[in-house]
Amino acid sequence: MEKIKEGELPIIAPEDAIPPAMVALFDFDGTVTHCDSLMPFLRFAVGRTRFWAGMIALTPAMLRYGLGGFDRTRFKNTVLGQYFGGWRTERLMGKVERFNKTILPALCKDEALARIRWHHEQGHRIVLISASPEIYLSSWAATLPIEAVLATRLEMRDGIVSGRIDGQNCRGPEKVTRLTDYLGGLDGYEFFAYGDSGGDREMLAIAAHSFYRPFRRPLAGITSRLRFLKALL
């Protein structure tokens, strides 16, 4: 595997043989964005008062999660159920549309968006793989040359949001599982992968060109926190 220092971007060398299909894999939160996107989405969807009231109600679950009493999937189900359980699908989709227009653009990194467009110009396929909800990532990705979004699905039944995950949380090994299912296997592909956390480890490991936190600027941590706090207030 080609290992490249943080912040470096690749130059593709010509191949003598028939080249494999090039596919660029992007994590979302912290890679394409400056910060987490789920909490800002929750805050936007339910409003300031209900969001913070929900945070207070979720305090016991947060403590249990922090102490190892909840796994990530169970904790995410608890959070989603607190805010969206019982919502009608069209109500949630209306929030998604406005969030993607008014909030999400300010959370995205210009460098990451430019890299997505660069891959498109090279003729590479582009796949977004994220633990964040597919419901808002799919419509956001439709504005860019992204072929597919493999993300965490929300369970919906008869037009009602259950407040639970449908299937697995798309993190860690699940990212590779979802990609394998989507492509019908991994043979015959050469991957570029961009990630920023332990949840991207398996995705980065399958790539010939892996990039860990490539779009981080000096003082990036401060910038990320400020953008995150602004989205929650």
Residue 124: the pLDDT is 98
Q: Is the pLDDT of residue 4 over 70?
A: no
* pLDDT given for residue 34 in this prediction: 92
Q: How confident is the model at residue 9 (pLDDT cuts 50, 70, 90)?
A: low
CATH architecture of 2-232: 3-Layer(aba) Sandwich (3.40)
Q: Label residue 15 by pLDDT band (50, 70, 90).
A: low
The pLDDT assigned to 19 comes to: 76
What is the pLDDT, as a whole number, of residue 17?
59
Identify residue 39 by its one-letter amino acid code. Answer: M
- Tens-digit pLDDT profile for residues 94-105: 999 999 999 999
Long-range CB contact pairs, 201-205, < 8 A, 24+: 201/172, 202/172, 202/173, 202/175, 202/176, 203/25, 203/27, 203/129, 203/175, 203/176, 203/179, 205/1
pTM for the structure as a whole: 0.86
Q: What is the pLDDT of residue 63?
A: 94
The helix-helix angle for 134-141 and 89-102 (nearest 10°) equals 50
